[in-house]
Amino acid sequence: MATGGFVARGAARGSKQPKPQITALDGLSLEIQPGEIFGLLGPNGAGKSTTVGVLTTRVRPTSGRAWIGQHDVWKEQAEVKHLIGVVPQRPNHDFSLTAREILIFHAAYFGMGSKERNERADSLLEKFKLTDRANQMVRGFSGGMMQRLSIARAMMHDPKVLFLDEPSAGLDPQTRILLWEIIRDYNREGKTILLTTHYMEEADALCHRLAIVDHGKIIALDTPQQLKASIPGGYLLRLRFGNQTSELFQRLQSLAGVREVRPNDGAGTDVYADRGGSLIPEIASLAASAGAELSDVHISEPSLENLFLHHTGRSLRD
Amino acid sequence: MNWKAFGAMLARDAHVARRNAIQLFFQTFLQPLLFVFIFGRVMVGSGYMPPQYKSLLLPGIIAISMVFTGIWAVAMPLIAEFQWTREIEDRLLAPIDIRWIAIEKVLAGMIQAAVAGLVVIPLAWLVLGRGVGISVQSPLEFIAIVLLVSAFSACGGLALGCSMNQQHIGLMFSMLLTPMIFFGCTYYPWSALEKFPILQKAVLINPIVYASEGMRGTLVPQFPHLSTLATLAALLFFDIVLLVVGLKQFDKKAIS
């Protein structure tokens, strides 16, 4: 803090309490730099929300530590809460209040003066296009409006670190683009942002750095570009043959530009290669000569989805 | 301790209570006033009950109103907020030790319970008509009883609200609160149980007994009642136990 630096760090081995105990985080450790947009990418149940919970005083880890800046999250909770803003996965608005009152009371909990909180509430309502609904009870709000209000509320006390748990789940494409703009704007003010997502495009478009999480562990951590570059070849060709043999595998391996050939859990074959479409005619003729007719082809360009698949053997949407 | 956050949460609860004032009014006062009307006016007026019953009934009615209001005001929002709306999350993220959030709920519940008790007195008086012989002999004792009964109801609401599931609300009323009220010496003094010696001992585990007997001791001392000192001590005991249990349960619910 003194140096203006701001780091969110977490190293946790956590588990949720309900019996039987489920290990949600398994030795996950990461360090987020000040001013960074950091993404946790992984399928549902990977441990992303638990990581956010541990860093925001909401989920007590069974072991390990978490810091926000120089503050230990579990020893200096009040100080930590001043520094963080949290956008939950599911809206949790106070149904007894209007949209504007939700913002005003939130700011009051943080000790903001009356004039300041009124001004800030009005400007955030304007920014999130909620001004015309400001004095209505939130009960009747649509999912997108609730989500926008959640983000406005998290920003009310001007936190240095903003946590967004699956911010664009259930949002229409238009609102999602507005959300991305808002996140980038807030980041330009020098704030640190940690978001979880299972949308590849979102992680790719927004994040400076990404951690790919599965089963409570970090599988890979780097910039989206570096991560994508780390996939062998970059292109992924998912193939299906009428009759799959080991001989066919070896011959696929020998094609120019092919980096890796793997059977996938279905009856198919995954080929990681430097090129995409131009390989298909060669594969088709090779398959025909081996008596295994090519029946299905799917080509994907270098993407984080492929990376996840490469590391886990599973698709993100599984 | 962050008094600003604590004050803001209290202001939020006051704001919501003001917004729901009419609903709260009927919820709090309709049932006790119906009771007062049937037992105190109809039964006494028709000669089935002696005229003194009016004065005997009123302290019990005050106690029930307070207990119900406090429990309702704390338990119901907590059950909904923890299990359904999750709206308490925003307050759990406020820069304040989370135990103070529970204590704020208790304080708000105590205020509502005390207001309910104090407002039911003139209302019931109006319904009962002439012949109510209540008087506050010792204002200090009366204030102490009101405070401890309010605290009992609000702490009870905290403990219940953080222990009950949403689907058990009906059970909570039918299996727990209703027997507590009927065996709580609310419509009769504790001494009336003399003919049922085992029951008379057994009801002493019921905190509502001390609430109604305490009210009786300070408002209508002409009737037999438990010693005021004993009721104060018992209420204090229940307040502390319920607060400790409630805070523990709150912490369990608040942090996963």
Distance of residue B250 Cα from the nearest chain A Cα, in angstroms: 13
The residues, ordered by sequence, that sit 6+ positions from B22 with a Cβ below 8 Å of its Cβ are none
Q: In the numeric block, which tokens belong to residue A289?
A: 């000569």
Whether the upstream peptide bond of residue A159 has omega within 30° of 0, thus cis, is: no
Which chain A residue has the Cα nearest residue B252? A17
Parts of chain A belonging to CATH 3.40.50.300: 8-223
Indicate the SS3 state at residue A206.
helix
Q: In the numeric block, which tokens belong to residue A114?
A: 């009356």
Is the Cβ pair A111, B4 closer than 8 Å?
yes
Indicate the SS3 state at residue A66.
strand
Is the Cβ pair A108, B11 closer than 8 Å?
yes
Which chain B residue has the Cα nearest residue A157? B94
Rounded CA separation B204/B216 (Å): 16
* Pairing label, strands A84-87, A161-165: parallel
The residues, ordered by sequence, that sit 6+ positions from A17 with a Cβ below 8 Å of its Cβ are B256
Q: Please calculate the CA angle A202-A207-A208 and round it to the nearest 5 degrees.
A: 160
Q: Are B63 and B211 in contact (CB under 8 A)?
A: yes
Nearest to B256 among A16, A105, A109 (CB): A16
The CATH architecture assigned to A8-223 reads 3-Layer(aba) Sandwich (3.40)
Residue the block writes with tokens 């338990």: B75
Mark B43-67 as b/e (b = at least 16 C-beta within 10 Å).
bbeeeebeeebbbbbbbbbbbbbbb
Instruction: State residue A265's pLDDT score.
Output: 66
Indicate the SS3 state at residue A33.
coil
**Contacts B5 to A, Cβ<8 Å:** 108-111
Query: H/E element holding A258?
Result: strand A258-263
Give per-residue pLDDT as tens, B11-46.
999 999 999 999 989 988 888 888 889 988 899 989
Q: In the numeric block, which tokens belong to residue A19?
A: 């019996």
Distance of residue A276 Cα from the nearest chain B Cα, in angstroms: 47
Distance of residue B158 Cα from the nearest chain A Cα, in angstroms: 19
A56 touches chain B (CB under 8 A): yes
Q: Which of residues 45-104 of B touch A (CB under 8 A)?
A: 85-98
Assign residue A91 a region (left: φ > 0; alpha: ψ between -120 and 50; beta: otherwise): beta
Q: Are A176 and A3 in contact (CB under 8 A)?
A: no
- According to DSSP, the residues that pair with A149 across neighbouring strands are none
Going by C-alpha positions, the residue among B253, B255, B246, B254 that lies closest to residue B70 is B246
Parts of chain A belonging to CATH 3.30.70.100: 232-301
DSSP A21: P
pLDDT in tens, chain A (318 residues): 223 344 555 555 555 444 456 666 777 888 889 999 999 988 888 888 889 999 999 988 888 888 898 999 989 999 999 999 999 988 899 999 999 999 999 999 999 999 999 999 999 999 988 999 999 999 889 888 899 999 999 999 999 999 999 888 778 888 888 889 999 999 999 999 999 988 878 888 899 999 988 888 888 899 988 887 777 777 888 888 877 777 788 888 888 888 888 887 667 888 888 877 888 888 888 888 877 778 888 888 777 777 777 777 766 655
**Contacts B89 to A, Cβ<8 Å:** 58, 88, 92
Instruction: State residue A84's pLDDT score.
Output: 95
The residues, ordered by sequence, that sit 6+ positions from A281 with a Cβ below 8 Å of its Cβ are none
Q: In the numeric block, which tokens belong to residue A127?
A: 């920014």
SS3 for B195-231 is HCHHHHHHHHHCHHHHHHHHHHHHHCCCCCCCCHHHH
Backbone angles phi, psi at A317, to 5 degrees: -90, 0
Instruction: State residue A152's pLDDT score.
Output: 94
**Contacts B87 to A, Cβ<8 Å:** 92-95
Is the Cβ pair A58, B95 closer than 8 Å?
no
Q: Where are the alpha helices (DSSP H) in chain A?
A: 48-55, 77-83, 99-109, 114-127, 143-155, 173-188, 200-206, 224-229, 246-253, 280-289, 304-312
Rounded CA separation B171/A68 (Å): 44
Q: Which of residues 141-170 of A touch B (CB under 8 A)?
A: 153
Instruction: State residue B104's pLDDT score.
Output: 96
Query: H/E element holding B54?
Result: helix B53-80
Is the Cβ pair B90, A53 closer than 8 Å?
no
Q: In the numeric block, which tokens belong to residue B234?
A: 């018992």
Q: Are A25 and A12 in contact (CB under 8 A)?
A: yes
For chain B, the first-to-last Cα distance in angstroms comes to 23
**Contacts B2 to A, Cβ<8 Å:** 78, 111
The CATH code of domain A232-301 reads: 3.30.70.100
Length of chain B: 256
Query: H/E element holding A211?
Result: strand A209-214
Segments in chain B below pLDDT 70? none
> Exposed (0-12), middle (13-18) or buried (19+): which is A315, by Cβ within 10 Å?
middle
Q: Are A17 and A62 in contact (CB under 8 A)?
A: no
Going by C-alpha positions, the residue among A87, A6, A263 that lies closest to residue B93 is A87
ipTM above 0.85, yes or no: yes
Q: CA distances (Å), B180 to each of A145, A305, B115, B202, B218, in order?
A: 45, 60, 22, 12, 22
Q: In the numeric block, which tokens belong to residue B133?
A: 């012989």
Instruction: State residue B136's pLDDT score.
Output: 86
**Sheet with A71-72: strands ordered across:** A28-32, A8-13, A63-68, A71-72
